[in-house]
Structure 1
């Protein structure tokens, strides 16, 4: 551990102790949602001020000179910085607060503290719904049936479909276009394929991590308000960082009023909203799901 990392942990301890009972060290930075990230960018992106900016934070996160120079080409370097850093094991809220404190940006901490605490509490509430015994999803326990066609061997799928219930009509169309055609793909649709009475978080983890080759995320305004969709997406992104771009495919099927989630912006989107691209939309998606 470098001195910078060590000192960030030390300095963030004072931030944690001055807060309520939140243990920032145990909360990953992925718990911070769009509102906090947008405000961080508003503070850190400008480089013509006397205050420390995103480049100072990047150095404390131990990004290389070349990496930082590449981030300079980005319209929103703070956003990209957080997206890359959050794949590391040490990327906790505590470390981020520590870096800000070291950079003498206590103004940011003071302004964003209520939003950060709110996101952290929501994250902890979701964690309470997760199973206490993680081995429940271990491969040694795959003899338990969780989908309607599980037999002696666990059922596997080409893709897990992450969607909110208000978008289920489009999921039906996805089933028709991808399963009931020559593509003959096998999709895991929670409401159709998963046995009732099972723990949602446990089964989601099992399906995304072990039984499905890909994950299709149906993005909509309602998706952004769904805790279940938020958990499923972040779980998929937390898997092997080198493989995540191959595993997760965002789909937009109707116009959105809200901004596209920043955590997915580094992925190529399959867009159904433009009439000029609809003719090859299903071909493109099916090809991506058919890859080994």
Structure 2
């Protein structure tokens, strides 16, 4: 792939989730218009393996390019940046690759910087055990001498403006008969350690699931963006029901596209509000 020669990054190892809104928006500007001369989103969808009926349904979407990218990354664990670039070149849209490669490279570099410690793929099967002495004491109830690390039912991904709802979540899920154990970063994590390293450790090795508190401010949070994409990279296609999006108030901004394929626990809908905490508790109690 000619474009990849400009960078030292192995795009084939970078999940499509690493591409942010700006790149996806520009891809849509190139591919959404139906084109009789150059390949458009329909050609890309065919290369991705979508069926005729699926493509006909995607035609009804306001942004079909965004839709096929979203569906492809949800259904295919091997959906990588390198594969997307290869497909664009196969569809003879090298012009798109050449125009966007710098932005794509920047997104991939940011993704790798955040995942540098620890690596996304850990070879050891016994991932419940900490790998270094430093990580024996990262939460308030850890035994720093090397005992069993503190484990949780769920990691709570939230931004600071939503802390009151997190407190309500603690009251409803920890201080009731459910007796669930939540990992709330500001409450449970000891200061003085690398944020990205410890967050990855907690999500991958200490917590069975992750609850994502969705709000307008969540969409602007780099920390929440990293946590969500890291959790999704651990369970492609949501096969393990590992990530649970929660909406507790109305939003002005669009719901994050990378989470649209997941069932949402929505407190804003009167028809589901009565069962909100029961459904969330049951989901977090699953083995």
Normalised TM-score (structure 2): 0.80
Match of 1:148 in 2: 140
Measured after TM superposition, the shift of residue 189 of structure 1 is 0.6
1:95 and 2:83 equivalent?
Answer: yes
Structure 1, unaligned stretches of length 5 or more? Answer: 1-11
Measured after TM superposition, the shift of residue 80 of structure 1 is 4.4
Q: Deviations over 1:135-160 (max 9, x none)?
A: 89954536713221224322222211
Query: Contact (CA 8 Å) 1:36, 1:115: kept in 2 or not?
Result: yes
Change (3 A) 1:50 1:221: same
1:218 and 2:210 equivalent?
Answer: no
| One of 32, 56, 59 as aligned partner of 2:19 | 32
Q: Distance in 2 between matches of 1:271 and 1:132?
A: 33
Change (3 A) 1:153 1:283: same
Change (3 A) 1:271 1:183: same
Alignment of 1:1-292 (within 5 A): 12=1, 14-17=2-5, 19=6, 24-45=11-32, 49-61=36-48, 63=49, 65=51, 69-74=53-58, 75=61, 77-86=64-73, 88=76, 90-128=78-116, 130-131=117-118, 138-141=127-130, 144-151=136-143, 152-241=147-236, 243-244=238-239, 246-292=241-287
Paired residues in the alignment total: 275
Q: Distance in 2 between matches of 1:274 and 1:167?
A: 18
The 10-residue stretch of structure 1 (73-82 or 146-155) with the greater mean CA deviation from structure 2: 73-82
Q: Deviations over 1:201-229 (max 9, x none)?
A: 23222222232222100111221122221
